[in-house]
Amino acid sequence: MATLSFNATGGDGYPHIDTRPGYVNTGFIDAEVLKEYIQKNSPLDAAAYEPKGEVSWQ
């Protein structure tokens, strides 16, 4: 599982997972990781990133 450190530390009311066994803070900055991904994979095809059943909206 991956999440933002903000959420892992209880941000926006999420439960703290940063104190759980196995938690690893990689130190990666989400915006930088996204920027690198886009640079390496451009041009992006938006249709390739549409939810395909793995996301449940309730």
What are the phi and psi torsion angles at 35 (to 5°)? Answer: -60, -45
> What is the pTM for the complete model shown?
0.60
Query: Domains of the chain: which residue ranges?
Result: 5-48
Tell me, what's the pLDDT at 2? Answer: 87
Torsion on CA atoms 29, 24, 7, 18, rounded to nearest 10: -140
Q: What pLDDT was estimated at residue 56? A: 67
Question: Which regions of the chain are under pLDDT 50?
Answer: none
Give the DSSP letter of residue 34. Answer: H
- Percent helix, percent strand, percent coil in the chain, to nearest 5: 40, 0, 60
- Could you tell me how many residues make up the chain? 58
